[in-house]
Structure 1
């Protein structure tokens, strides 16, 4: 399919936007009227630049308030349209978007509106221009795509068709299945926009919170599937109104935009029934055969399959001499043992259960560069997967850059890509583990089994700057095949934090993304300190959290101080045994319970160098969350710790 984007979706001057759109490998774009008006280039020069960049001008938009109850006003609108047709002739654009009227002067007579649309289509036909009529979700009289389709049918002109916009349809809760009843040739243009699910005025929702497919809460694959089943074979275009996107560098935004369309195409292709299944069904259901035939008119993106993720192979920390010593003391207090030393680099391996922590203090390495930018931080995460090369090839097909690190003689090369925050994501295949890559790269020590009962990495929490939050969601979905949960609003003493967790079906990989618009929250301070984004905490699971926390305390590990008021309130919130609450209080362990009765026990350390911290968790009875109800008390405790009101080293 042809892929397009509206210039209103990204920042910069019109010529900057066009160059960025071309770099992201789009086929064309929609010219937004204000971008043209504000440009220093003439329409003919814009057309020439588009041609030089290999871009088509797919649509000129918007033309507003055509239909009017007053004939004199309608005549003025026709004159205004003629001027736009002149402009389109210079641009070489052959389609214009006509929005349903939102003004008080709008006609409410369907016959009159259809007649006015016909008259404009007659004028457009003389110029070789087509009209794409769109029902705005806040249109005064026409706000339902089924209504706009009836008007197009009534006008009955070959130069008049529909523009379907996913936001205008899905934000009003309209059923998109009826799109399949519209002939594909009558759908002139398709605009796509996702959005977080919100309860607010639909105009404000549209103007400020749209996002790319895969970043919001709409079922975009189902929507596009209905459009393709109708027989549409024109451009797929992104029209996004988003305050953050208007400020962010347009190069990053356009690459995200393309990634979102590729992800969307893949999801539609995965949901499409196999031809053999349709063939078997067709004699009894001719509509299914017609639907499959309509789908076959377009070629959809088909990347390598998402990797099967079997957990985390290792987590890598970037340190210097001072922070390496302090971090290793904390690891020892958490029950990790120093399991190996790299054969050629200043890198050590710490182990417990299935958890591998790599501490990298090698001069001139990627970790050293990462430390210079971010300080002590988590610079890489490695995932266990069935096929590391396929995982990297999939990432590259979504325009994610591959990472090639410095590898010494006889050392293992692990397939890797760069994440949104600049860190590295490694893919360790089962074949690589079977070959014993740890033995190849490290001098391993015999295990002394000195752990405190930690088993695996339960989840990773990432702090993202506001401009990277949606990008990170899309990255996890497209590259790793993770699915997001609900978006939550959490209360920090100094602002609000938005959190959204993603995971695979097997729950062998859980990633929680957090962002705050306030500059004073702990999350925001972490982002500022890290000069971008980064992992702000790791959660390790254990079978008996009381035993694990007690053992860590005996080893000198400091845990975050949770106030007594929390435990007093816990008794009021849950029907808990007094002795059990006393155990929680004594060890400063937090508690949550889900509606199905699943329980979650967890405890936090203070922040290490104000960069990241650790969490110990125990899941009981199928609990699948992250203790969101306890996040405010944890963030308040961290705020006190960061402010220096409660200060202690992570490990004594």
Structure 2
């Protein structure tokens, strides 16, 4: 499809926005009027700049407070429109967006609105232009797309059509099913926007909290699918008002924007291709939708890799031995050591010239790479690059296995390890295996349950979209957690099988532990690793015997537990003695404990999931953060 984006969606000057949009591979733009008003140049000059960048000006917007007005105001608005047509003609734009009226002067008179829009379209037609009418969610008389379509149909002018915007429809919980009954050639333009579900005034919601498709909670795929089923073949565009995006470097935002459209197209294409009805099949014959390899079939964490200098590597190695990990191998050609327990493989990379260390050099031990088991690693990386992630090829020594990889937002690597290699095949090829039996005593840790990342505030939406579009992980509920020095916003993402889980954490306050970790590492950094066991009391007892130190939990926490939950007193006593925390959902129970931190704030969480518990113990996060603050 022809892919477009509104200039209001990005930060920077208009010229900078255009350059970022072009670099991300867009075909065109929606020119937001304020961007042009503040542009130091003529309309003709802007037209030349966009053409030189390979962009078309697909839409000039918005033209406000026009339809349904008293006669005097209507005549003044016609003159105003002529001046806008002059500009559009000079810059090479042929479609104007006229949004539904919000003026207190507007009259709730569909016939008047239709007649006035007919006259506007007639004047546009004399210039070879068109007008699209859009229902604003907060429009005085017209707020639903069905109302806007009724007015367009009454106006009955070939140069007047409908503009659809997913935010205006979905924010009002209006049903998009009726879109399929609108003739596709009368839908002149499609704007897509997602958003988190928020209980607030729709105008404030729209102007500050929209997001790219795949970053929010709206069913944008269904909205897009219904528009395609109507026969729409025009541009697919983004119009995003978001306070964070206005601050974020526009090149990164533009890449996120393109990734969101590719994700949206691929999801809609999958639905249409799976449908058996004749009509959807015809859609795919008339509209070219992005078709990447399928989302990777992930079956768990293959490894985590730490970057460390020599001293930090020794300190981390000692801690891992306390946790019951055995040193089982050293790399054939690099200063890299492999530790194992259960199905957990941890790699400590102290190679001075390793790319993996990169930005981690000055920060002690930090996680620099995640290895994920995938059924088809090559296809996984092909999907990632198709979705605008950057491929990474590590240098290979003699006999080493190639492991396809990409660069995740923030700079960490994600490797895709073939599931066909089993749990040890990769390491048998790349490492000289050692007998680490005497190195440590197994403590019952079995697998990596989840990995938690600390992100800068402007990275959360990027990571949610990346997780969805590239890795096929679906986000869970967005939560707010109380740190002693501010709020943490936390959101888990996981695959359907729950074999791969990530927890994304951001903090607006610069005083929280999460924010301090981000400031040291540059963001996108792992700040804790959750390791799963079957009997947490036995595991914690062995870990303590090995010298592992845990974050102390206040006795007041255990005194409070029975007042909130129906819980056996003997279990509370056992948890108190072990320093284990408790959470319960209708599906099951979660027991967990946290080690003291090392390096730049990294720590481990020991977890036991009972029955079908599917969360992360969020109710206990304040207890953990308060205890860490008192360390």
Coarse TM-score class (shorter-chain normalised): over 0.9
**Partners of 2:163 and 2:188 within 8 A in 1:** yes
Equivalent of 2:332 in 317, 325, 343: 343
1:478 matched to 2:469? The reply is yes
Partner of 1:283: none
Equivalent of 1:606 in 596, 611, 619: 596
Q: Describe how 1:487-502 pairs up with structure 2 within 5 A.
A: 487-502=478-493
Aligned-partner Cα distance in 1 for 2:63–2:74:
13
Partner of 1:553: 544
Shift in Å, 1:373: 5.6
Aligned-partner Cα distance in 1 for 2:489–2:284:
38
1:333 matched to 2:322? The reply is yes
1:635 matched to 2:619? The reply is no
Aligned-partner Cα distance in 2 for 1:270–1:293:
14
Shift in Å, 1:14: 1.1
Matched residue of 1:122: which SS? helix
Shift in Å, 1:52: 1.3
Partner of 2:268: 268
Partner of 1:212: 212
Aligned-partner Cα distance in 1 for 2:178–2:154:
18
Aligned-partner Cα distance in 2 for 1:467–1:315:
25
Q: Describe how 1:495-510 pairs up with structure 2 within 5 A.
A: 495-510=486-501
Aligned-partner Cα distance in 2 for 1:374–1:392:
29
Equivalent of 2:449 in 443, 452, 458: 458
Q: Describe how 1:127-526 pairs up with structure 2 within 5 A.
A: 127-274=127-274, 277-278=276-277, 289-372=278-361, 374-433=363-422, 436-448=425-437, 450-526=441-517
**Partners of 2:312 and 2:364 within 8 A in 1:** no
Partner of 1:620: 610
Aligned-partner Cα distance in 2 for 1:458–1:69:
61
Shift in Å, 1:424: 0.5
Aligned-partner Cα distance in 2 for 1:555–1:100:
69
Give a deviation string over 1:517-544, Cα, whole Å, max 9, x none: 1111111111111122211111010000
Partner of 1:284: none
- The farther-off stretch of 324-333 and 580-589 is 324-333
Q: Give the unaligned 5+ runs of structure 1.
A: 279-288, 641-645, 647-652
**Partners of 1:375 and 1:530 within 8 A in 2:** no
Give a deviation string over 1:179-232, Cα, whole Å, max 9, x none: 111111110000000000100000110111101000000011111001001111
1:33 matched to 2:33? The reply is yes
**Partners of 2:475 and 2:491 within 8 A in 1:** yes
Give a deviation string over 1:547-581, Cα, whole Å, max 9, x none: 00010000000001110111111111111121110
Shift in Å, 1:74: 1.0
Matched residue of 2:139: which SS? coil
Shift in Å, 1:447: 4.9
Aligned-partner Cα distance in 1 for 2:86–2:360:
57
C-alpha RMSD over aligned residues: 1.4
Aligned-partner Cα distance in 2 for 1:20–1:618:
46
**Partners of 2:307 and 2:361 within 8 A in 1:** no
Shift in Å, 1:374: 4.4
**Partners of 2:176 and 2:223 within 8 A in 1:** yes
Shift in Å, 1:610: 3.3
Matched residue of 2:566: which SS? coil
Aligned-partner Cα distance in 1 for 2:311–2:41:
56
Shift in Å, 1:355: 0.3
Q: Describe how 1:17-28 pairs up with structure 2 within 5 A.
A: 17-28=17-28
Matched residue of 1:74: which SS? helix
Aligned-partner Cα distance in 1 for 2:423–2:112:
74
**Partners of 1:370 and 1:379 within 8 A in 2:** no
Shift in Å, 1:325: 1.9
Matched residue of 2:393: which SS? coil
1:114 matched to 2:114? The reply is yes
**Partners of 2:70 and 2:105 within 8 A in 1:** yes
**Partners of 2:449 and 2:530 within 8 A in 1:** yes
Aligned-partner Cα distance in 2 for 1:368–1:7:
37
Aligned-partner Cα distance in 1 for 2:162–2:284:
19
Give a deviation string over 1:417-449, Cα, whole Å, max 9, x none: 001010110011034458933122212123527
Aligned-partner Cα distance in 2 for 1:434–1:193:
42
**Partners of 2:405 and 2:416 within 8 A in 1:** yes
Equivalent of 2:529 in 522, 538, 541: 538
Partner of 1:566: 557
Q: Kindly tell me: are residues 85 and 373 of structure 1, through their superposed partners in 2, closer, same or farther at Cα, counting changes over 3 Å? A: farther
1:86 matched to 2:86? The reply is yes
- The farther-off stretch of 246-255 and 407-416 is 407-416
Matched residue of 1:35: which SS? helix
Aligned-partner Cα distance in 2 for 1:460–1:68:
56
Shift in Å, 1:296: 3.2
Give a deviation string over 1:339-393, Cα, whole Å, max 9, x none: 1111221111110000000001111112332322644210001011111111111
Give a deviation string over 1:226-256, Cα, whole Å, max 9, x none: 1001111000000000111111111111011
Matched residue of 2:357: which SS? helix
Q: Kindly tell me: are residues 226 and 373 of structure 1, through their superposed partners in 2, closer, same or farther at Cα, counting changes over 3 Å? A: farther
Aligned-partner Cα distance in 2 for 1:118–1:341:
76
**Partners of 1:228 and 1:295 within 8 A in 2:** no
Aligned-partner Cα distance in 2 for 1:14–1:621:
54
Shift in Å, 1:609: 2.3
Q: Give the unaligned 5+ runs of structure 2.
A: none
Matched residue of 1:244: which SS? coil
Aligned-partner Cα distance in 2 for 1:230–1:367:
49
Matched residue of 2:623: which SS? helix
The total of aligned residue pairs comes to: 629
TM-score, normalization by structure 1: 0.95
Shift in Å, 1:399: 1.4
**Partners of 1:521 and 1:639 within 8 A in 2:** no
Aligned-partner Cα distance in 2 for 1:12–1:41:
16
**Partners of 1:377 and 1:611 within 8 A in 2:** no
- The farther-off stretch of 66-75 and 246-255 is 66-75
**Partners of 1:494 and 1:520 within 8 A in 2:** yes
Give a deviation string over 1:79-108, Cα, whole Å, max 9, x none: 000000000000110000001111111121
